[in-house]
Amino acid sequence: MSESTENVVICFRVLRTFCQNVGTLLTKANELMTEGGWEHIWRRTPVLEICDDLDDPNCWLPDTFFCYYEQTDSHILPFIAVLVDDLNSDDYEPDRVKEVLVSAGWLEYAAGTNARDKWEKDLAVHYSHLWMKDRQDDGSLCSGDARDVWDDEDIEAGAVKVTTFALPLGEISTTDELKEKIVQPLLNAIEKKS
């Protein structure tokens, strides 16, 4: 067996270990969000997006891992995502993701509406941090009109606001760090919006 084919096996095993670690991170995030009063939308959305089309092998491996959350009658739709690439963008830019990021954020619909009813299961939501103008990957909040962030003229201007923040995955290695740096800041910020 050549060294290059052995390296492929090693790489896939590293990827599986990475996926196990991301699964643990998102499971812990779900538990922490549940403690904060938000239910993981697990029956209606996948936790990752892949393509199984033979003609599109570039998308066989996931580029994001994500979870969405809901509360009854809330106009807020929070999410937590692990971003490893941005294959969902029409203008693919390899430099858009230089290191794995843990992102969190929310969609904010008009007060009095129910995010669960408004959200059309557009899974592009969890990519939002990557598309923010002047984004920072240091935990700073970034906000914008969804129409501008997603470059989607079909959305009524001002109807949906997107807010995100992100940190490099390397800064989050324990459950306490996940809570302190991602989940609690997310819960605190959406509490102010509720």
Give percent of the chain above pLDDT 70.
Answer: 96
Neighbouring residues of 46: CB distance < 8 A, sequence distance ≥ 6: 123
pLDDT band at 40 (very low <50, low <70, confident <90, very high): very high
Q: Does residue 7 lie in a domain region?
A: no
Is 65 in contact with 15 (CB distance < 8 Å)? no
**Mean pLDDT across the chain:** 89
The model's pTM is: 0.91
Give the domain extent around 179.
Answer: 24-193
Q: How confident is the model at residue 18 (pLDDT cuts 50, 70, 90)?
A: very high
Q: Is residue 44 part of a domain?
A: yes
Give 7's strand partners.
none
Residues 95-130: tens digit of each pLDDT = 889 999 999 999 999 888 888 888 777 778 899 999
The count of structural domains within the chain is: 1
Of 77, 90, 37, 71, which is closest to residue 160 (Cα–Cα)? 77
pLDDT at 44 over 70: no
CA distance 101 to 78: 17
Domain assignment of residue 139, yes or no:
yes
pLDDT digits (tens, 9 = 90+) for 58-77: 778 888 999 999 998 899 99
Cα 74 to Cα 96: distance, rounded to the nearest angstrom: 32
Q: So what's the pLDDT on residue 147? A: 86
Write down the pLDDT at residue 10: 94
- At 12, which amino acid appears? F
For residue 11, tell me if it sits in a domain.
no
**Residue 1: its pLDDT value, please?**
56
- Phi, psi (rounded to 5 degrees) for 49: -120, 125
> 144 is written with which tokens?
């914008």
Residue 145 has pLDDT above 60, yes or no: yes
Domain presence at residue 177: yes
pLDDT range class, residue 43, cuts 50, 70, 90: low
